Amino acid sequence: MRQLRFLTIPAALVVASIASAHHSALIFNRDVVVAFEGTVTNFGWANPHVYIHVETTDDAGEVVEWEFETDATPILSRSGWSRDSLAPGDTVLVRGNPDKSGRAHALLVSLTKEDGEVLAARSYFLRKSDDPANVPRTGSLEGIWELDFADYTAFYRAWDQIELTAAGIASRDSYD
């Protein structure tokens, strides 16, 4: 029993540290977009979030380094990003939802490189058509599933609009 307690405490500490490592996007003001040109100082291609540090000059003429948070590497990879998408010294135009605390930290909306390439955390949103006929259908669980949504509110509402197959309807109806 003593050995079990000895192992339980470290396991609980590890789980707690992992759980607290991720956070909600509620720290960002989604109603405001900051936009400015700056120079990439660091591009951290790692999970759970990729971070882009961009140096710019504020209204007072002071140099400020902003930290832009994006999605995980698999999401960015599907959106056309790679670990070579940016490098320190690149000049970029960034747009993001600022941290509500007022610190120089934002959730990336989009980034435009000097060559005109636009990168967004979820670039596939930009490519989607509003025409439901253009959304591919499937009869299996195979592939990458994607709903046509522009924000998380629409995402959750979209779950009410999913068309079920006959097997899905039967499964739903038999669920207690």
- Residue-wise pLDDT tens digits, 38-61: 999 999 999 999 999 999 999 999
Residue 127 lies in a domain: no
Residue written as tokens 């439901």? Answer: 132
| Per-residue burial over 4-41, b = 16 or more CB atoms within 10 Å of its CB, e = otherwise | eeeeeeeeeeeeeeeeeeeeeeeebbeeeebeeebebe
Where residue 68 falls (left for φ over 0; alpha for ψ -120 to 50; beta otherwise) is beta
The verdict on 113 and 146 lying in the same domain is no
User: For 120-131, what is the mean pLDDT?
Assistant: 58
Q: What is the pLDDT of residues 60-102, one digit of tens each?
A: 999 999 999 999 998 898 888 999 999 999 999 999 999 999 9
**CATH code: domain of residue 30:** 2.40.50.140
The verdict on 83 and 169 lying in the same domain is no
Helix (H, G, I), strand (E, B) or coil at 127: helix
Say yes or no to pLDDT of 34 above 70.
yes
In this structure, what are the phi and psi dihedrals at residue 105, rounded to the nearest 5 degrees?
-145, 135
User: Please, how many CA atoms are within 13 Å of residue 97, restricted to the half-sphere of its CB?
Assistant: 14
In total, how many domains does the chain have? 2
Domain extent at residue 85: 25-122
Residue 55 lies in a domain: yes
User: For 144-165, what is the mean pLDDT?
Assistant: 62
Q: Max Cα separation, the chain?
A: 65
Q: 51-57 and 105-113: which strand pairing? A: unpaired
The verdict on 29 and 108 lying in the same domain is yes
- In this prediction, residue 8 carries a pLDDT of 61
The verdict on 108 and 141 lying in the same domain is no
pLDDT class of 20 with cuts at 50, 70, 90? very low
pLDDT class of 134 with cuts at 50, 70, 90? low
Q: Which long-range contacts (CB under 8 A, 24 or more apart) does 58-65 make?
A: 64/104, 65/41, 65/104
Is the pTM for the entire model greater than 0.85? no
Write the single-letter amino acid at 7. Answer: L
Say yes or no to pLDDT of 159 above 80.
no
The verdict on 96 and 52 lying in the same domain is yes
User: For 111-116, what is the mean pLDDT?
Assistant: 94
The verdict on 33 and 71 lying in the same domain is yes
Residue 5 lies in a domain: no
Q: How far is residue 25 from each of residues 22, 48, 105, 162, measured CA to CA in Å? A: 10, 13, 12, 25
In 3D, which of 85, 104, 107 has the Cα closest to residue 96? Answer: 107
Residue 6 lies in a domain: no
pLDDT class of 17 with cuts at 50, 70, 90? very low
